Structure 1
Amino acid sequence: MLFHLMSGVSVCLSVVFFTGFLALCCWYKRPKNFPPGPRGVPFLGVIPFLGNYPARVMQKWSRKYGPVMSVRMGSRDLVVLNNHENIQKALVMQGQIFSGRPNMPALTQVTDGLGLATIDYTDHWKTQRRFGQTTLRGFGVGKRSMEDRIVEEVEYLNNAIRSHNGKPFDILGILGNAVSNNTCSVVMGRRFDYDNERFKKIIATLSGLFTNPKSNSTIILVLFMPFLMKIPPFSWINNKRVDGINEIKRLLREIVHEHELRFDKDDVRDFMDAFIAEQKKNDKHSSFTDLQLLQYVRDLFVAGTETTTSTLRWSILCLIHNPEKQEKLRKEIYKVTGQDRVPAMSDKAQMPYTCAFMQEVFRYRTLVPLSLFHATNDDVSLNGYRIPKGTTVLPNLWAVHNDPDVWDEPSKFKPERHLDEKGNFVQSKHVIPFSVGPRQCLGEQLARMEIFIFLVSMVQKFEFLPDPNEPNLPEIENGSCGTVFVPFRFKQIAKMK
C-alpha cells in the first residue's frame, strides 16, 4: 500500500513539474524573429524591475539588447524603441502601421473607447482628428488671434503671482488656471476667473491625478495587469483615479449641456458649438455623438492643461536651480522687450538664448517619457526584426533626449548646447517632446506659444527664488512619473523686478 501511495505522489509531482516546465517554456517563448530583451518573472514580466522611472530603466537595458528591444509586461510582449533613428523609421516612415493604440481596459474604463488620444487608428479616429485640426485652426490655434488670447491671460497670471507679495507659495494652481483658460477660450468660448469655484475644483482634481506618486505607480500595474483593478489595494487607488476623472467629466458635462441649450447655428462660437453643428448635420449613425463630444473635450482639456502646466513648473525649477541662467535669460528679455512690453511670438527670432532654454527644458525633463503607447496595425519589419500585428510599441522619448551619442553630459541642464558658435539658436531634430508621426500631439502649436509667452512674461516681471523656510532646493532630478512625468509639489518665492 505504501508503494502504491508513493507511486501516486511521484506521478502527481511529475505532472506538476511537467506542467510548470511547459508554462515556463510558453512564458519565455517569443514570436519568431522578435526583438530580444528581458522577460522578467512569470506572470509579472519586467514590471517588478521598472522602479519609479521605467523609461530610464529601459534605456539601460537597451545598451545590452539594442535600440529596438522587447519586454514582457504582464502577459504582453511589447517593443521599445530607444533611439531617434528607429522612432523615425517606425512612427514617421511607417506611420500608418505604427499609429494604432493598444486595447487597455484601464483606459477604456475612463474613455469609453471615445475621444481622440487613446482610440485606435480607425476611420473614426481619422474623422475626429481631421475635424479637430480644422476646427482648432479655425478658432485661432497657431494664429495671431490665439496669441492675443494668451497675451490677455498674461495680466491675470502676473497679478495672481503678485498677490502673494513675495511670500512662499505653490504656483501649480495659478499656472493650471492660466494654461487651461487658453484651452477653454477655444473649446468653450470663455475664460474663468481664478476664484471660480467650479473651475478651481476642476484644476485641483486634475492636478491631483498627476502629482500623486502612489497613483502614478499604480497605473502602470493596472494597465498591463487589468485584473488588479478588482484587487485591493490596487483597486482602491484605481477607483480614486477613476472617480477623479469622472468628476472632471461631470463638471465638463454641465458646460457641454449649457452649450447645447444656447446653440445657435448662425453663431458658432467655439469648438463645442462647431461639434454640435457637425452633429446636427450628420445622421444618427455618425461618430459625432454626445459622448464623443464629452470625451473629446476631456482629452483637449486634460492634455492641454497638464502638459503645458508641468513644463512651465519644470522651467521654474530650472530657474531656481540655475540662478545664473535665470539672469542671462532675463537680460536677453530686457534687451528685446524692455521691462514693460508684453512679449510677442515675433520676439522669438531675437531671443536665441530663450529658445535654447525652452528646448533644453523639453529635453532635460521629458514630460511623457514613453510617449502614449502605440500599436501596430499590421505585421511589419523594423531594424531586421518582425513585429506582429497588434503589438504594443513604446517610443522611449526619454532615451532619445538622454542619448550619450547625441548629447554631451545629458544629465546636466545646459541651454548653451542648443546655440552655435555665433550664439544662434539651433533647432534639434533630436528633441521631440510632442512625439512625431500621425499621432503627434494635436495641441503642439498652442503649447509652444503658451510656454514662450508665459515663461518670458514671468521672468520679465519676477525673480524666482527658493523657499527660505526649506533647507534644500526643491527636487528637480526626480518627480511623480506615470504616463506624465511631473514635478513634485514645491513652493517658491516670486520677487517682483
Structure 2
Amino acid sequence: MISLTYFMISLFILFLLCYWHRRPKKFPPGPRGIPFLGVIPFVGAFPERAFAKWSKMYGPVLSVRMGREDWVILNDFQSLNQAFVKQHEAFSGRPPLPIFDQIGEAVGIAFADYGPYWKTQRQFSVSVLRSLSVGDKSFEKRILEEVDSLIEAIRFENGKEFDITPTLKTATANIISSIVLGKRFDYDDDKFKQMLNRSFKYFSNNIEGLMVRIMMFAPKLMSVPPFSLVGRRMVHEFNLTFEIFREIVDEHEDSFNPRHLRNYIDAFLARMKQEDNEHFTLPHLMRSILDLFLAGTETSATTLSWALLCLLHYPQAQAKLRQEIYDVIGPSGAVTMTQKPNLPYTNAFIQELFRYRSIATLGVPHKTTTDVTLNEYFIPKDTKVLSNIWAIHNDSDVWRETDQFKPERFLDANGSFVYSNQVIPFSIGPRYCLGEQLSRMEVFLFLVSMVQKFEFLPPTDDGLLPDINKGTSSFVYAPLHFKIKAREL
C-alpha cells in the first residue's frame, strides 16, 4: 500500500514537472524555474541583468516563466528592431497589468492595448502636444522659464551639501504640469510635494517599488500579504492624486473657452464636447493626465540625477563639458536649442548618459497581437514580451568597456558627434515614449544651464563620492539617495 502511495506521488510530481516544462513548438528557449513561481526567485532585484546573462546561453530571444506565464525577452537591438519596428503590428499589444488596471476608472494611453482606442488616444495626444510645442508657450520657452527657477533653487543652497533630486523632480514636474494642467507650482508648495512623493515612490522606492514590479510579473501575489497591502496603498495614494487633478479639471471646465485652448486639459474637454465618444470621458482624461505626468517627470529627473553623479565621478568630463559650453555660449550667454548642433561633446555626454544608465531597463511590457515568427521562433498570440534595454545598452559586442562612462565613444576622429540608433532610452516602434521630444529638450537645457552656472562637487571635503554603481530596483533605475555641493561660478 505504501509503495503504491509513493508511486502515485512520484507519478504526480513527474506529471507536474512535465506540465511545467511544456512550451509551444518552436518557442524561444530559456529557463523555466520552479512550479508556480517560475524564475522569479532567481532573477534577483535586477531581472534585466539575469535575462542578459541567460541570453548568452539561450540566444538574444529567450523565454522565461514568470509566475505561471511565459514571457519572451528581447536582448539585442537587432531582435528588438525586427519585432517593434519591422513587425510592429504583431508586437504592439499591451498585456493586462492588474496592478495598474486598478488605478482610476480607465486605461489611459500608456497601458492601453493596441487597437482603435489606443490609436485614437495616441494620435490625439501627439497632435495636442505638437500644437503646444510651438508659439508663445513652446516647450523650449516653458523649460527655460523653469531653468531660471531651478538655478535660483540651487543658488539658495549657498554651496552647502544638499539633496538635489527633489528639486529636479519639482522642476521637471512643473514643465509637464504647465503643458497638461496649465499651471506650475512653487518649489515649497506642500500640496505639490505631497503629490510628487505619492506618485513616484512606487517607481523609485527600493522596497515598495520592487514589490509592485514583482506583482506585475505575478499578479496572483496581489492577494497575498504583504504584497496586497502595498497594492492597496498604491491605489489609495494615486486616488489622492486624482483628487488634485479633478480640482484642476473642474477649474478648467468653469473657465473653458472653445476658441482659446490653453493646455492639454482644455483640448481634451473640447474633444469631449464635440462628440459623444465613449473613449473621451472624464475618467479617460484623468488617467491620461496621470500617464503624461508620470512619463514627463520621472525619466527626465532621474536622468539628470545620474548626470550629476557622472559629473562628480568623472570631473574631467565636467571640465570638458563646461569648456565647450563657454566656447560656444559663454559663461553668461542664454542657452537655447539652436546651439545644440554646435556642442558635439555635450551631445556625446548626453547620449552616453542614456546608454550608461538605462532608466527604464525593461521598458513597458508588450504583447503579441497575433501568432508571429521572430528569429525562426514561433510566438503565439497574447504572449507577453519585454525589451531588455539594459542588455542592449550594455552589449559587449557593440560597446567596449560597457561599465565605463565614456562620452568619447560617440565622437569621431574630427571631434564631431556620432548619433547611434542603438541607444534607445525611449524604446522604438509605434509605442515609443510619448514624451521623448520633451524629455530630450529638458535634459539638454537643464544640464547645459546647470554646468554653465555651477561646478558640482562631492558633498564632503574628504572627496568621498556617492555611489554611482548602485540604484533602485523598481520600474525606474534611479540613483540611491545622495547629496552634492554646487559652487556658483
Indicate the TM-score class for this superposition, using the shorter chain for normalisation.
over 0.9
Q: 1:281 aligns with which of 254, 274, 279?
A: 274
Cα-Cα RMSD: 1.6
The alpha-carbon deviation at position 272 of structure 1 amounts to 0.2
Deviations 1:168-215 (A, max 9, x none): 111111111111111112111222221222222212223423331111
The alpha-carbon deviation at position 483 of structure 1 amounts to 1.5
Which residue identity does 1:316 align to in structure 2?
L
The alpha-carbon deviation at position 142 of structure 1 amounts to 11
8 Å contact kept, 1:142–1:446: no
8 Å contact kept, 2:106–2:284: no
With normalisation by structure 2, the TM-score equals 0.97
Q: Residue 297 of structure 2 aligns to a residue in which SS? A: helix
Q: Residue 386 of structure 1 aligns to a residue in which SS? A: strand
The equivalent of 1:4 in structure 2 is: none
Q: Which stretch of structure 1 is more off in the superposition, 240-249 or 375-384?
A: 240-249
Q: 1:329 aligns with which of 321, 325, 329?
A: 321
The equivalent of 1:270 in structure 2 is: 263
Deviations 1:115-169 (A, max 9, x none): 1001100211000000000001011169982211111111111001111111111
Deviations 1:274-315 (A, max 9, x none): 0000001111x4300100000000000011000100000010
Sort the Cα spacing of 1:469 and 1:238 in 2 relative to 1 into closer, same or farther, 3 A: farther
Q: 2:59 aligns with which of 44, 59, 66?
A: 66
8 Å contact kept, 1:419–1:426: yes
Check if 1:148 corresponds to 2:141. yes
Check if 1:433 corresponds to 2:433. no
The alpha-carbon deviation at position 255 of structure 1 amounts to 1.4
Which residue identity does 1:425 align to in structure 2?
F
Which residue identity does 1:428 align to in structure 2?
S
Q: Residue 211 of structure 2 aligns to a residue in which SS? A: helix
The alpha-carbon deviation at position 233 of structure 1 amounts to 1.8
Distance 1:26 1:242 in 2: 36
**Gaps spanning 5+ residues in structure 1: where?**
1-6
Which residue identity does 1:312 align to in structure 2?
L
**Gaps spanning 5+ residues in structure 2: where?**
none
Q: Which stretch of structure 1 is more off in the superposition, 42-51 or 10-19?
A: 10-19
Sort the Cα spacing of 1:43 and 1:426 in 2 relative to 1 into closer, same or farther, 3 A: same
Deviations 1:215-247 (A, max 9, x none): 122123211222221222222233333333222
The equivalent of 1:34 in structure 2 is: 27
The alpha-carbon deviation at position 112 of structure 1 amounts to 4.2
What is the percent sequence identity of the aligned residues? 49
The equivalent of 2:45 in structure 1 is: 52
Check if 1:482 corresponds to 2:463. no
8 Å contact kept, 2:81–2:428: yes
8 Å contact kept, 1:186–1:270: yes
The equivalent of 1:340 in structure 2 is: 332
Distance 2:464 2:238 in 1: 34
Q: Which stretch of structure 1 is more off in the superposition, 379-388 or 41-50?
A: 41-50
Deviations 1:404-443 (A, max 9, x none): 1110111110000000000000000110110000101111
Distance 2:397 2:117 in 1: 40
Sort the Cα spacing of 1:130 and 1:380 in 2 relative to 1 into closer, same or farther, 3 A: same
Residues 77-92 of structure 1 mapped to structure 2, 5 A cutoff: 77-92=70-85
The alpha-carbon deviation at position 399 of structure 1 amounts to 0.8
8 Å contact kept, 1:141–1:445: no
Distance 1:249 1:473 in 2: 39
Check if 1:225 corresponds to 2:226. no
Q: 2:199 aligns with which of 183, 206, 210?
A: 206
The equivalent of 1:460 in structure 2 is: 452
With normalisation by structure 1, the TM-score equals 0.95
Residues 15-414 of structure 1 mapped to structure 2, 5 A cutoff: 15-140=8-133, 145-283=138-276, 285-414=277-406
Which residue identity does 1:217 align to in structure 2?
L
8 Å contact kept, 1:91–1:438: yes
Distance 1:179 1:247 in 2: 21
Sort the Cα spacing of 1:470 and 1:70 in 2 relative to 1 into closer, same or farther, 3 A: farther
Structure 1 outlier segments of 4+, above 4 Å? 141-144
Q: Which stretch of structure 1 is more off in the superposition, 38-47 or 379-388?
A: 38-47
Q: Which stretch of structure 1 is more off in the superposition, 238-247 or 174-183?
A: 238-247
